[in-house]
Amino acid sequence: MPRRRLSLRLALARALGLGAGALSRALGRGGGTAISGLVAQWVDPRLPRRVFSDPRVSVVAVSGSNGKTTTAGLLAGALRSAGRQVAHNSAGSNMVQGIATLALRAIDWSGRPISSTVVAEVDEGALLAMIDELDPLVLVVTNVVRDQLDRYGEIYAIAGALERAAEHQRPGSALVLCADDPLVAQLAPSHPRRRFVGLELAESHDRITSAADSIRCPICRTPLEYRAVYLGHLGDWRCPSCGLARPPLDVAVTRIDDGPGGSVIDLRVAPDRDLTVRIPQRGLHIGYDAALAVAAAAELGIDPGVATTAMADVRPAWGRLEQFEAAGRTVLLAFAKNPMSYRTVLPVLESQPAPVELLVAHSSSVVDGEDFGWLWDVEFDRLAPRLIRATVSGDRAAEIANRLAYADWPADRVRVVPDVIDGFSRALAATPAGGTLVVISGYSPLRSIVEHAQRHGWTRHFWEA
Amino acid sequence: MDLRILHLHPSVLNVAGDAGNVLALQQRARWRGLMVETRRVDPGEPIEPGWADITIIGGGQDVEMRVAAAGLREQADALRSSIEGGAVVFAVCAGLQLLGRVYVPATGEPIDGVSILDLETRGGPTRFMQHAACEVELQRSRAVVVGFENHSGLTELGPGARPFGRVVLGAGNNGRDGTEGARPADGSHVYATYLHGPILPKNPWLADRLLTAALARRHGAVELQPLPDGTETRAHEEALAAARRAKGRLTAIPAARLGRAR
């Protein structure tokens, strides 16, 4: 009875994997989002492939440099409100083990799928290795920016890996691509179903700087021309030399109003159909994330009207411009891992009604990287007028402090506290009652701060986000 | 007194935060009361001969090398004449490779450099991505310079070049002979290194030596006022501690196929 033995193995892998995750949480070692998958794959290395290849399961993979977590969160919300049973790695555990954990959450004790749809956020460097076992019906690619270059070497190495992953096809599969990113718009041109999303705003919201990531034609390397620049190098672009241009948009963002309560976004989902979405999340990038989610949901047969209605209830993923109250102060957490993510959060900080206390934290780690040279491409000088005082933390605190000194931040308003929790506590204490502490942080320090806040009952567990 | 900085190919060779090197020179000059003028010149644009006191060339990605190399070859005469006139050139990574005779990538056609430095580079199987440090001697003074290396090119120096520094931690030019970077044997002011960081903000000793050499061209021997260098020194120590922990990766995934027909 080979089939029965196989499902027994699957069931054992699931039981031991989930047990390991529960043990990890009980011991206070975190959410168990990686250990579960590690253990389960040890018992049954083919577990993810078997779950994802089940004909009752549809897989959507969301990859790219920035915006994966938020896009996947909006998409999962839309699918749930359409009545789908969704498994989603919402805590952002997006490497091989995290995807294995996701697979075992999609099945019941007997190995039968309990989720009809899997929304898998996948690290852009790990996607290619997992594309066959994920075998996605829809692949969403957000953007390609410089990120973790000390891990992947070059932006073009990431683009190349995404290119080969995007060429993976199954019958009926679709690519949902951000057309405003020239490298992403050029992925897998021979794929039979590519859907494009982008912004269609009257005016630029950003400007091209020398530090922009991909501002040359992906085909002929000529500098691109932009009708409008929206965020970093994302915009309505064309090549003046070979004529390559942003493809026509299937879902276009035609308006974004950003306010303290969130964003109001107009989407053109068909030539004669416009929808307004309210999302309790901030920043121009939410427009991209929402449009990608609506387009991906449409590929799964979900009407955009249904998808957008659900987004009104999708709170920020942990640390993504997430706000909570702590000891009578407001804390705004802004995850930032590269110049592009700083470009998304700086306008939100600039729009704060009064100057703020600020904590900036970065540490070296496997996920945060070792090379923080990119901090010198962040326009910190823009923030100086919005500042009461900055505390800098993490094991790269000295690098941050030096960066701020060269951005002409006054030395007497920058305090170096390498320990992240100590830095957070002192910055919070220095924030006047009723005031706002803004935290801009890389992954590892932010996770420490979120766990600290959770111990005080100020916010949720990051794995519940 | 004034300082003229030329930032060469800023929108192409921009990937490693090397704008921080330009910022370090600008600020360290301004903080001493100097006027600073900075010009940015991309490939296809002319260099005004004799204008710059110091030219900065940053690190870039392998696919940008051909664009940068073609631009640099057109600008080479102006660059060479400014070097002969006593101007300083400071080049990082791709900048180092393109100042050499040739860059031979692992795949594809060789890329001709401008032969300002006597060196050749070949794409290797390993990408060195790690903290690194070297010992540098400049203007009869010696110091450890720390940064981050991220390159797969293996560089060999010819007889007309000597190393910019001696490897203390990391791989240096080729992971084999202990040399880091290059400068001309004739003593002209071209300094090239593989070290990203950006290195000038956290190696103020080096930044000030480059400033001194740059100012000497039009202003003669200048005694630079000392700066407090508190944050700089701590950033240097932090980076050196990271280099001693010797974390980093020696892997790479192949780059995209670009320029294919649609």
How does pLDDT run across A311-351, given as a tens digit for each residue? 998 988 888 888 899 989 999 999 999 999 999 888 888 88
User: What's the whole-model pTM score?
Assistant: 0.88
User: Which of A152, A338, A376 is the mutation pick for testing B, counting most B CBs within 10 A?
Assistant: A376
User: Which pLDDT tens digit goes with each residue over B186-233?
Assistant: 999 999 999 998 999 999 999 999 999 999 999 999 999 999 999 999
Cβ pairs bridging A and B (under 8 Å) = 149
Q: Do A151 and B11 touch (CB under 8 A)?
A: no
For residue A225, pLDDT over 70 is answered with: yes
- Answer yes or no: is the ipTM higher than 0.95: no
Average pLDDT, chain A: 90
**Percent helix, strand and coil across chain B, each to the nearest 5:** 30, 30, 40
Pairing of strands B248-249, B119-138: antiparallel
Alpha helices in A330-441 (DSSP H): 339-350, 397-406, 420-430
**pLDDT (0 to 100) of residue B255:** 38
Q: List, in sequence order, every residue forming a beta bridge with B183; answer none if it has no partner.
A: B162
Angle at A213 between CA A228 and CA A342, to 5 degrees: 85
Q: Which of B9, B93, B131, B151 is catalytic?
A: B93
Banded pLDDT at B253 (limits 50, 70, 90): very low
Residue A175 tokens read as 């690519």
What kind and span of H or E run contains B174? Answer: none
Residue A429 tokens read as 């204490």
- Rounded CA separation B20/A381 (Å): 13
**pLDDT (0 to 100) of residue A9:** 83
- Using only the alpha carbons of chain B, give its radius of gyration: 17
Pairing of strands B2-8, A436-441: unpaired
- Among all residues of chain A, which has the CA nearest to that of B261? A219
Q: How far is CA A141 from CA A69, A75, A129, B86, in A?
A: 12, 13, 16, 50
Contacts of A253 (CB under 8 A, 6+ apart): A197, A198, A199, A200, A201, A265, A266, A267, A287, A288, A290, A291
**pLDDT (0 to 100) of residue B62:** 74
- Rounded CA separation B231/B241 (Å): 15
For residue B258, pLDDT over 90 is answered with: no
Q: List, in sequence order, every residue forming a beta bridge with A334; answer none if it has no partner.
A: A320, A440
Residues A141/A55, Cβ–Cβ less than 8 Å: no
- Rounded CA separation A107/B106 (Å): 46
The three-class DSSP label of residue A69 is helix
**pLDDT (0 to 100) of residue A212:** 75
Q: Do A156 and B231 touch (CB under 8 A)?
A: no
Q: Where are the beta strands (DSSP E) in A25-91?
A: 58-63, 86-88
For residue B250, pLDDT over 60 is answered with: no
Banded pLDDT at B84 (limits 50, 70, 90): very high
**pLDDT (0 to 100) of residue B235:** 97
For residue A388, pLDDT over 80 is answered with: yes
- Rounded CA separation A278/B18 (Å): 40
Tokens 């996770």 -> residue: A447
- Among all residues of chain B, which has the CA nearest to that of A392? B231
Q: Do A376 and B40 touch (CB under 8 A)?
A: no
Q: Which residues of chain A are within 8 Å of residue B20 when distances are taken between CB atoms?
A: 373, 376-377, 403, 406
Q: Is A154 on the interface with B (CB under 8 A)?
A: yes
| DSSP category for residue A343 | H
**pLDDT (0 to 100) of residue A461:** 52
Q: What is the largest CA-CA distance in chain B?
A: 58
For residue B245, pLDDT over 90 is answered with: no
**pLDDT (0 to 100) of residue B214:** 98
Q: How far is CA A142 from CA A63, A139, A179, A254, in A?
A: 6, 10, 9, 18
Q: What is the largest CA-CA distance in chain A?
A: 74
Average pLDDT, chain B: 91
Tokens 């766990």 -> residue: A451
- Using only the alpha carbons of chain A, give its radius of gyration: 22
**pLDDT (0 to 100) of residue A1:** 38
Using the Cα atoms of residue A45, residue A48, residue A54 and residue A55 in order, give the sign of their dihedral: negative
Residue B225: other Cβ atoms inside 10 A = 9
Alpha helices in B126-203 (DSSP H): 199-202
Tokens 């640390």 -> residue: A319
**pLDDT (0 to 100) of residue A377:** 92
Residue A85: other Cβ atoms inside 10 A = 14
Q: What are the backbone dihedrals phi and psi of residue A429, each rounded to the nearest 5 degrees, phi first?
A: -65, -35
What kind and span of H or E run contains A235? Answer: strand A234-238
Q: How far is CA B93 from CA B16, B151, B155, B159, B204, in A?
A: 9, 7, 10, 20, 19
Q: How far is A346 from chain B (nearest CA, A)?
A: 18
For residue B161, pLDDT over 80 is answered with: yes
Residues A304/A297, Cβ–Cβ less than 8 Å: yes
User: Which pLDDT tens digit goes with each residue over B48-70?
Assistant: 999 999 999 998 877 788 899 99
What kind and span of H or E run contains A176? Answer: strand A174-178
Q: Which residues of chain A are within 8 Å of residue B256 when distances are taken between CB atoms?
A: 156-157, 159-160, 163, 183
Judge whether B134 counts as a catalytic residue: no
Contacts of B94 (CB under 8 A, 6+ apart): B13, B57, B58, B59, B60, B61, B64, B65, B68
| Over residues A103-130, mean pLDDT | 92
Distance of CA A376 to the CA centre of its chain: 22
Judge whether B189 counts as a catalytic residue: no
**pLDDT (0 to 100) of residue B248:** 45
Tokens 């993976």 -> residue: A168
Share of chain A above pLDDT 90, in %: 65
Q: Do A373 and B196 touch (CB under 8 A)?
A: yes
| Over residues A17-23, mean pLDDT | 86
Q: Which residues of chain A are within 8 Å of residue B171 when distances are taken between CB atoms?
A: none
**pLDDT (0 to 100) of residue A35:** 84
Q: Is A218 on the interface with B (CB under 8 A)?
A: yes
Across the interface, of A128, A146, A373, the residue whose CB is closest to B198 is A373
Residues B187/B169, Cβ–Cβ less than 8 Å: no
